[in-house]
Structure 1
Amino acid sequence: MNAPVDLVDVWRGDILESRHQGHAVICGADGEILEAWGDPQATIYPRSSCKMIQALPLVESGAADAHGLGVEQLALSCASHQGAHIHTDRVQVWLDSLGLADGDFRCGPQWPNDIPARNEIIRAHAAPCQIHNNCSGKHAGFLTLNRHLGGDADYELVDHPVQQACKAAFEEVTGETSPGYGIDGCSAPNFATSVHGLARAMSFFATAHDREDARSKAAVRLRDAMATFPALVAGETRACTELMRAMEGRVSIKTGAEGVFVAIIPEKRLGVALKIADGATRASESAIAAILVKLGVLDPAHPAARARMEPQIRNWRGTLCGHIAPTQALL
């Protein structure tokens, strides 16, 4: 097994203060490794980076069409959203269309990361609901699939038909038998795979337009929904939204907790996956931006690219103290 390699440096003044290591893989159309850093076989939890995989059964089963889901709902099914009104209002309409209520979710309540939405709840002396959970779009998708399958209410359990469908799709597109699972922040099982497996899954999405089977057609719809509605996938101030906007719908990207990031690049028929060993988001954002620049799909001069790949470090007075940058290994 190869050790993680240096991917992102943190400078304060002229001195290297911190360094983030990790693993990354770029996969070609056939799932082969075109370039790798660290250990492609390192076992990881993809966390929320694999939401488009978890949404595959929703679409390929016919549940999405049977319940009239549009492109916005498909984008939300892949989202880790901010809990802003543009997210929660749409999820509420979706929930209403199923004749279900907030209590039918199994993701748990969460304070919105969107500051205006959070302040609105505080001013009302209220508490957040499950609809504010950043995974409520994914769970609305689970509920829709569950309605289609006729499963019981506890759709988040690993042996439930919903999660078994997700596991089957996950193992098939990663090309690996998952060695196990952990319980994610939203209570759904998160199946482990290798960094290569996750990148292979992204290349499946990137090349899905070449095929006509139900799963590939579902993959095209999901990846395109993400690229069409980047604000629904994450939200204002978020890397996923800002970088997808900068690439003008040509690339779909998704972050996951603990330093995971993936990219789907249809025009180049490439899939990308990376994992920062210490779980730092600041490093995963810098690394994914650097890889997207390296692959020629992100303009390094774009403000969103500069803000994520080489962000400045400023103190509370606004004084420039240092910067974050990808290592030469990535560049």
Structure 2
Amino acid sequence: MPKISQIHDHAVPLIELWRGDLLESVHHGHAVVMHANGAIVESWGQADVLMYPRSSCKMVQALPLIESGAGHALGSEQLALACASHQGAGLHVHGVSRWLSDLGLGEDDLRCGPQAAEDIAERDRLILAHERPCQLHNNCSGKHAGFLTLNRHLGGSSEYVEADHPVQRAVRLAFEEVTGMPSPVYGIDGCSAPNFATSLQGLALAMARFAGASDSGDARARAMVALRDAMMRHPELVAGETRACTELMRAMGGTAAVKTGAEAVFVAILPQSGLGIALKIVDGGVRAAEAAITALLVRHGALDGNHPVVARYLGDMRNRRDLIVGQIRCARNFCTNAT
């Protein structure tokens, strides 16, 4: 098994925070832009760094759900939820609850664990009603509803998150095929499902394959189209209000899909250019991952650089009195020079 302590090797400055005339913080990382034909369009840092994609690969984890035929009756809202890291808002909770009900299942059948709602309105509702958050509020509950749907088709045991379960074996096979490499190791994600390691280049290749997929292609290509289009059609289901995934997809008007993952992973699927993007910030800083993906979306023409959403993640930083006190900006060689 290869060592997985590569994440710091050859990492380069990607995002800087300036306060006044002083550089206050620097976020190092790796970024790769790939074409579906396997060519690296550009990269920063180490393209083949081994990493966990975390929730950025949920659309890959959902491929067996579509390819197997298990999800033939699912609507685009459910497919978006299968790819989501949602914030437990009412529309997310009710959507997953209805999905489980259609299967004749309930919240107890999930294996993702309860999570406090990140949505303020739902959090306040729970407090006022003296209710506790449940597994439906877990940001991965839609993915797990997809696992349960696939499990119904495969006839596996109730413990569908075990690494040797038929559901996870199907996920691993699809994951390795679209990333173009065997996964040497897996870790257990926050939702208790296995998360298979790959190279950043492999993750970007998977996104590029989603970008280049066509309805006229084979079963996998059609599954990729269904999942990416569901994400672009329902950005509010993929994350939620004020979240970067939702705001960036809205700003791009349904022309591209983006997805974050824990520990500052971010990916993008750009169908119009047939490109896939993957990046990882070494220190796990979310603000840097959001800034970096924004910069790359602008660089590759998916996002208008003058759109107001860009200023939310890149540019002037304001304090509580709305005074400009600093800037979040790209490091000198990021998004200007690539290797």
TM-score interval, smaller chain: over 0.9
Measured in 1, the distance between the counterparts of 2:319 and 2:36 equals 44
In structure 2, the partner of 1:323 is 327
Give the one of 164, 169, 175 matched to 2:169: 164
Match of 1:61 among 53, 64, 68: 68
Q: 1:316: Cα distance to partner?
A: 3.6
How far does the alpha carbon of each residue in 1:115-162 deviate from its partner, in whole angstroms, 9 at most, with x for none? 010011111111100000000000000000000101100001100000
**CA displacement, residues 77-122 of structure 1 (integer Å, 9 cap, x when unaligned):** 0000011111111111001001111110000000111001001111
Give the AA of the match of 1:180: V
Which of 298, 302, 308 is equivalent to 2:303? 298
Tell me the distance in 2 between the aligned counterparts of 1:137 and 1:322: 38
Matches within 5 A, 1:1-331: 3-65=10-72, 68-209=73-214, 212-310=217-315, 312-331=316-335
Superposition deviation, residue 318 in structure 1 = 3.7
AA aligned opposite 2:26: R
Give the conservation status (yes or no) of the 8 Å contact 1:291–1:330: no
| Structure 1 residue 14: Cα displacement | 1.6
Q: Give the length in aligned residue pairs.
A: 328
Query: Which one-letter code corresponds to 1:322 in the other structure?
Result: G
Paired residues of 2:215 and 2:222 also in contact (CA < 8 A): no
**Which range moves more in the overlay, 317-326 or 172-181?**
317-326
1:223-269 CA distances to partner (integer Å, 9 max, x unpaired)? 01000100100010001000001111110110001010000011101
What's the offset of the Cα at 1:179? 1.2
Deviations 1:164-204 (A, max 9, x none): 10000000000011110000010000000001000000011
Deviation at 1:11, TM superposition (A): 1.2
Is this contact kept in 1: 2:86–2:140, CA < 8 A? yes
Uncovered stretches (5+) of structure 2, i.e. residues with no partner: 1-5
Supply the AA of the counterpart residue of 1:200. L
Answer yes or no: is the 8 Å Cα contact 1:31–1:204 preserved in 2. Answer: no
Look up the equivalent residue of 1:327 and give its one-letter code: A
* TM-score (normalizing by structure 2): 0.95
- The answer to whether the 8 Å contact 2:314/2:327 transfers is no
Partners of 1:301 and 1:292 lie apart in 2 by: 12
SS in 2 for 1:63: coil
- SS of match in other structure, 2:142: helix
Moved over 6 A (4+): none
Q: CA deviation at 1:329?
A: 1.8
Distance 1:285 1:51 in 2: 18
**1:6 counterpart letter in structure 2:** P
Equivalent-residue separation in structure 1 for 2:103 and 2:219 (angstroms): 24
Q: Retained in 2: the 8 A contact 1:4–1:21?
A: yes
One-letter identity of the residue aligned with 1:147: R
**Contact kept? 1:92, 1:131, Cα under 8 Å:** yes
Tell me how far apart the structure 2 counterparts of residues 286 and 325 of structure 1 sit (CA, whole Å). 8
Q: Where in structure 1 are there 5+ consecutive unaligned residues?
A: none
Deviations 1:24-55 (A, max 9, x none): 00001202111000000111100000000000
